[in-house]
Amino acid sequence: MQPASPYPLTQRLAHVLAARLAPGADLDQQALAAVSRALLDTIGVMVAGCAEAPVTRLAPVLTAADGPSMAREAAMLLGTAAHALDFDDVAFGGHVSAVLVPALLAASLARPVSGADFARAYVAGYEVWSELATRDRDMYHRRGFHPTPVLGAVAAAGAVAVLLGLDRVRIAAALGLGASMAAGLVVNFGSMAKPFHAGRAAEAGLLAAQLAQGGMGASADALEGAKGFLACFTPQGAVDRDRALNCEETPGWMLARRQPSVKRYPVCYAAHRAVDAAVALSTRLPAQAGLRVEVTTSDRHSTTLRFRDPATVSEARFSLEFCVATALLRGRLGLAELGDAGLAAPEVRALMPQISRRIADHRDPALDGYALFDRVELFDASGASLAAQDVRRPRGHADNPADFADLLAKFHDCVARGGLPEGWATRIAGLCEAPAGIETMAPLAADLLGVARGMPGRR
């Protein structure tokens, strides 16, 4: 059994959040800019995801009651919508904003919440998420856990606790309660259960904060204890329960130093490097007769992208063959390609069996589970080969970021898919550019909840 940690992570993290992100605390411009981008991107993918099957199946089950339970159901529904297309941002092994943004929007429905309040709470949730994720050198996927709901339940608890203005004792309780609601399995990738993971984590975090606000407690060492969160979820036991907080070792919030990666394609992030390479090769694609395509990727990503012959669009999002074939033939992989017609396209189906996988014998030293690079190579009937430049960081990654114009174009595409008017999109984009200036988040939250519930006149 591991020895008790000498560092009181749960209590220290709660103290820092309460002391440095109290109501009225200022945020630096880098953090505010990151919140702006995360809010804009998440609202877009949420609107686009509202008509997807996981959301339309979930909405009728919820009661739409008023009061605290209404907020929790809103968090669950909006979180599921945000992750329904697998188009939401990623950081530290999971889909951070698809959990934090819905949880905070839902909490804004029943209490006065300004854009500045929202930004501080998002920073808090991001800090909790990154603090836990950076203490383990192995991704939770290795053990079959989906990091989004596992880390998300705790992070959302911290975020909503800050939004509610809880003190250190109650924030610590919220973190501990969130830790006991963390759950989610990789085996459900490619099914409607995966987007529900994000919704359930948002709801769990909100509930944890509400319970802590009401006086429910949790263990003082819920995160770092010998039988606590870190020790239980670590894939191989390589977890650091001893070091000080990230923000103590390096001043400043993690969000200002390491922003989420924006997804350019509505498919599993494990496919993005190969898709970038395939798009680059699309203008030079030789005749398909005798064509062979070899994709080099890591064993982890190959396992994650497990559907070689996808039967549904959900499975196609986790199919390396579908993603690469479509990108090669279309020169793109967007929302229009991820539909029944795109999945059934004869030319895509014909090319998919000609794609083989090569497991890389190299590893990225900075990213667990990644190859040093992904590669797509074409071989024509004569055996001549053509390869795109090796891809180490896909477009939109934090190290290869998308510019704001690209982010805005993605937002408008998503809102158009969701059926909302262009005027609404333009107004919301303007608000998201300066979230600290938003007087109240409630109207935006109510709009989005109406879309998710399929209310007449909202689409």
Among 344, 369, 387, give the residue marking a domain's end: 387
175 and 192 in a single domain? The answer is: yes
- Compute how many other C-beta atoms are within 10 angstroms of the C-beta atom of residue 106: 28
Compute the average pLDDT of residues 135-150. Answer: 94
Same domain, 50 and 120: yes
Cβ–Cβ < 8 Å for 35, 122: yes
- Which of 13-17, 349-353, 373-377, 431-435 is least confident? 431-435
Query: Is 400 among the domain residues?
Result: no
CA distance 83 to 398: 19
**Same domain, residue pair 95 and 203:** yes
pLDDT digits (tens, 9 = 90+) for 385-439: 999 999 999 999 999 998 888 999 999 999 999 999 989 999 999 999 999 899 9
**Are residues 167 and 245 part of one domain?**
yes
State the pTM of this model: 0.93
* DSSP annotation string for 311-371: SSHHHHTTBHHHHHHHHHHHS---TTTSSHHHHH-HHHHHHGGGEEEEE-S---SSSTT--
For residues 223-250, average pLDDT? 93
Based on the domain organization, do 258 and 296 belong to the same domain? no
Q: Note the pLDDT of residue 64.
A: 66
Same domain as 295, residue 258: no
Same domain, 57 and 203: yes
Same domain, 324 and 202: no
Residue 1 domain-assigned (yes or no): no
Q: What pLDDT is attached to residue 65?
A: 67
398 in any annotated domain:
no
d(CA 353, CA 133): 37
3: pLDDT strictly greater than 70 = no
Range of the domain at 207: 9-263+414-452
pLDDT number for residue 225 = 94
> Per-residue pLDDT tens for 62-119?
876 666 778 999 999 999 999 999 999 999 999 999 999 999 999 999 889 999 999 9
Domain shared by 151 and 234, yes or no? yes
Lowest mean pLDDT among 60-69, 203-212, 225-234, 393-402: 60-69
Q: What angle do CA 130, 105, 455 make, to 5 degrees?
A: 135
pLDDT of residue 457: 39
Pair (135, 204) in one structural domain: yes
pLDDT tens figures, 272-307 = 999 999 999 999 887 777 899 999 999 999 999 999
Asked if pLDDT for residue 5 goes beyond 60, the answer is: no
Q: With H, G, I as helix, E, B as strand and everything else as coil, classify residue 304.
A: helix
Q: What confidence score (pLDDT) does residue 456 get?
A: 39
CATH code at 84? 1.10.4100.10
Average pLDDT across the chain, whole number: 93
Residue 76 lies in a domain: yes
Residue 156 lies in a domain: yes
Domain boundary (387, 404, 436) is at 387
CA distance 406 to 394: 14
Residue 239 falls within a domain, yes or no?
yes
Both 210 and 150 in one domain: the answer is yes
350 and 293 in a common domain: yes
Q: Supply the CATH number for residue 360's domain.
A: 3.30.1330.120
Q: What is the number of domains present in the chain?
A: 2
Note whether 158 and 13 are within 8 A (CB). yes
Q: Which pLDDT belongs to residue 455?
A: 61
Q: Which residues contact 213 (CB under 8 A, 6 or more apart)?
A: 161, 164, 166, 170, 174
Q: Tell me, yes or no, whether 459 lies in a domain.
A: no
Residue 406 within any structural domain of the chain: no
